[in-house]
Amino acid sequence: MPPVRAIFISGGASGIGRAVAVRFAAGGWFVGLGDIDAAGMAGTLALLGEGRGWSRLLDVRDAAQWDDVLAAFAEAAGGRIDAVFNNAGVPLGGPLAEMTEAEIDRCLGVNLKGALLGARAAYPWLRASAPGSCLLSTSSAAGIWGTPGAAVYSATKFAVRAMTESLDADWAADGIRVADLMPAFIDTPLLDHTSHAGSNAAIRAEVSAAGLEITPVDEVAETAWRAVHGTRLHWPVGKTAVRLTRAARWFPGALRKQLRRGLSG
């Protein structure tokens, strides 16, 4: 009987991380969670079923924590890790001139440094379980074309996209697949936060005012399942992300004009 496959998910306490954890557990995988929210991870574990999951506190900005947590998860999973979902992120946006230095540092630290450290820590485990292992990371539709009013966030998501493309080339000889998700606005609790300290409006209200759709989180989870089992590099999720991908490729001039007029223009 082949061993149960194992996936580790950062940012597994809620939102996309929770939905992906539920999807992989339903597919027969053993699921590891890492997050700074212990209560949220407990809530996710309760949805997975008895013996289907494992969790540990993890600040993705800490390299030593990454190494320790993945080693502990591998032990719990029978000595192997087949996939790592580099998912932890913060939705810090807003005009660059209104963002504080602390907000910029946090966005860069979690979204970019955290993804790089996660990939580095995952590499020996994924190499050991290759071929067929996978590093999946959460980029964004903001990594397809820069999002107005979110320069720092977009910069981090473009960087995750670039990391994915680089590692796809670097790790091909090791038999490790590399991919990223590029979701637009997803129906998670993060949409109920403000984009930055200087804003009083929840992100959800701003998205609705711009006339953009909000994609169910289960659609992201299903795309993550296909990405880990597939061969494509970038996976747009949601109508906005798909339209943006096409426009960026075929009509970049028109897209630029529209965004300069405003998202709903």
State the catalytic residues: 153
In order of 27, 104, 164, 165, the CA distances from 169 in angstroms are 29, 30, 9, 7
Rounded (5°) CA angle 45-49-51: 85
| Four-point Cα dihedral 71, 74, 76, 82, nearest 10 | 150
Q: Are 32 and 58 in contact (CB under 8 A)?
A: no
Range 48-56 contact pairs with CB under 8 angstroms and sequence separation of 24 or more: 48/21, 48/22, 49/25, 52/25, 53/21, 53/25, 54/30, 55/12, 56/32
Encoded tokens for 136: 């999946």
**For residues 8 and 85, what is the distance between their CA atoms, to the nearest angstrom?**
6
Q: Are 55 and 7 in contact (CB under 8 A)?
A: no
The residue count of the chain comes to: 265
Q: Are 16 and 186 in contact (CB under 8 A)?
A: yes
